[in-house]
Amino acid sequence: MDTAEWGIAGLGSVTMGLGLTLLLATSRELWRGVSWFLMVGGLLAMVLAFVAAPALRKLTAVVIHNAEQSGRLAPAVPKPKGKVALLLLATELQTIRASVNRLLSEGKFPRGVTLLPTQRWRECQELVAEKDRRLYGVLADAYSRADEFNRMTVDRANLYVGRWLDFHPDDDLEGFVASLDAAIAALHDEGAD
């Protein structure tokens, strides 16, 4: 639930409390009607906050997803296609390689190190899979290692107290660098210079 829904739920509970207080404190028929009205209004606000709003949000997400899948609704940001996608992936992998080289030269990484970029891979992986399965395998290996590297840095930052965190022998950083080099070379062979 988001802040607005909690606000509606809070307002509903306060309204119900006010209605209940009036119902118990008064003997006049007019105020009893007002108090019942407040209690029912508060109950409806609670139902709206806890049931209707989350259900409507889920329904909206499903409708948008189905419309995008069927082609009736274009994605909010068009995915890169063809050679442009390969060029973007090559740039992203070179950025990852430069970041990893810098961290390896230091032999350690600072707490809160910026995560390696993987957004272009999420945008282009379907295109690469359809185009060339061999290329997809090479790139998927490099990007899965980048995701694992990101998880490792976040996990170590959460586990250890120091400002600088060390690499461990089982991090397989040599394999990660070799995978990045293979992915960059494969993109170069495809003409993504």
Angle between helices 173-189 and 82-106 (to 10 degrees): 150
Residue 62: its pLDDT value, please?
85
Q: Is 183 found in the same domain as 99?
A: yes
Residue 99: its pLDDT value, please?
92
pLDDT at 65 over 90: no
Residue at which a domain ends, from 46, 70, 94: 70
Cα distances (angstroms) measured from residue 49 to each of 2, 40, 45, 128: 10, 14, 6, 43
Residue at which a domain ends, from 42, 70, 98: 70
Q: If pLDDT is split at 50, 70 and 90, which confidence band does 146 have?
A: very high
Query: Would you call 72 helix, strand, or coil by DSSP?
Result: coil
Residue at which a domain ends, from 27, 46, 70: 70
Q: Is 131 found in the same domain as 45?
A: no
Cα–Cα distance between 166 and 136 in angstroms, integer? 31
Question: Whose structure tokens read 């120091």?
Answer: 162
Residues of the domain holding 115: 82-189
Residue 178: its pLDDT value, please?
95
Q: Is 99 found in the same domain as 43?
A: no
Choose the weakest-confidence range: 51-55, 60-64, 142-146: 51-55
Compute the mean pLDDT over every residue in the chain, rounded to the nearest whole number.
Answer: 83
Chain centre to alpha carbon of residue 95: 21
Whether residue 77 is contained in a domain is answered as no
Whether residue 138 is contained in a domain is answered as yes
pLDDT at 1 over 60: no
Calculate what percentage of the chain has a pLDDT beyond 70: 91
Cα–Cα distance between 8 and 28 in angstroms, integer? 29
Task: Please give the tally of structural domains in the chain.
Answer: 2
Whether residue 75 is contained in a domain is answered as no
Phi/psi zone of residue 165: left (φ > 0), alpha (ψ -120 to 50 degrees), beta?
Answer: beta
Q: Are 187 and 81 in contact (CB under 8 A)?
A: no
- Per-residue burial over 10-40, b if 16 or more Cβ lie within 10 Å, else e, is eebeebbebbeebbeeeeeeeeeebbeebbe
Q: Is 185 found in the same domain as 143?
A: yes
Whether residue 87 is contained in a domain is answered as yes
Whether residue 21 is contained in a domain is answered as yes
Cα distances (angstroms) measured from residue 24 to each of 10, 17, 20, 175: 21, 11, 6, 73
Q: Is 57 found in the same domain as 129?
A: no
Cα–Cα distance between 71 and 151 in angstroms, integer? 34
Residue 19: its pLDDT value, please?
76
Q: Is 135 found in the same domain as 94?
A: yes
- Tokens, residue 44: 């409806």
The pTM (predicted TM-score) of the whole model is 0.60
Q: Is 90 found in the same domain as 50?
A: no
Q: 95: Cβ–Cβ under 8 A, 6 or more apart, which residues?
A: 116, 117
Q: Is 185 found in the same domain as 134?
A: yes
Q: Is 12 found in the same domain as 101?
A: no
Whether residue 107 is contained in a domain is answered as yes
Q: Is 109 found in the same domain as 177?
A: yes
